[in-house]
Amino acid sequence: EDQVTQSPEALRLQEGESSSLNCSYTVSGLRGLFWYRQDPGKGPEFLFTLYSAGEEKEKERLKATLTKKESFLHITAPKPEDSATYLCASISGGYQKVTFGIGTKLQVIP
Amino acid sequence: DTGVSQNPRHKITKRGQNVTFRCDPISEHNRLYWYRQTLGQGPEFLTYFQNEAQLEKSRLLSDRFSAERPKGSFSTLEIQRTEQGDSAMYLCASSVAGTVTDTQYFGPGTRLTVL
């Protein structure tokens, strides 16, 4: 069974303090690794899809990277509006089932 | 592109009642998914449609749960004889088939509270 583990579960940063969120996965036949952002009471908002080890994608202050065992979401100089839960998810096999981690709840303090 | 919409946004019901939720995917998206999310957890896959065909169901989807997508457009998720353990956020997502890995776009969710 596919497993996706995210750490830390919660992270508190000062505004401007860069950090990284970790997503480790045990997936048979990984086809893609997603990152989503979720605000309280809302649905997940798509950020990135990574397909193969070594791939990197960037969007504003966020950069996602992928290795054969884990993915990182790097946040550079975060702002309070970056506060949210960040979810990592894998897709594998011949169908469209996505397995999510429990997320990292990020709080950025002004 | 108006995004994925879900109705109702909130539903409070008494144990034992039936509830039905609706999801309207992004137009032209032929794949539709249902997930359940409880507090502090990531979304859990429930079921998936390609057009009107239900192609995958999780073992989380007990006999009390049924989903339909009659014309390959909107979808409904019905829960019969609700239990307190059914209280959760029910999320719908849609995607376009034909890429290596479809990106799933989520709706705002329907929050169900079973009293």
Which residues does residue A33 pair with via DSSP β-bridges, in sequence order? A50, A90
Q: Looking at the predicted structure, is the pLDDT value of residue B99 above 70? A: no
Beta carbons of A10 and A104 less than 8 angstroms apart: yes
* Inter-chain residue contact B43 with A95, CB threshold 8 Å: no
* Inter-chain residue contact A97 with B48, CB threshold 8 Å: yes
Beta carbons of B5 and B24 less than 8 angstroms apart: yes
pLDDT digits (tens, 9 = 90+) for B44-79: 999 999 999 998 888 878 899 999 999 889 999 999
Would you give per-residue pLDDT tens digits along chain A (110 residues)?
889 999 999 999 999 999 999 999 998 888 889 999 999 999 999 999 998 999 999 999 999 999 999 999 999 999 999 999 999 999 887 666 789 999 999 999 99
Q: How far apart are CA B81 and CA B12, in angstroms?
A: 14
Beta carbons of B37 and B91 less than 8 angstroms apart: yes
Residue in chain B lying closest to A10 (CA): B40
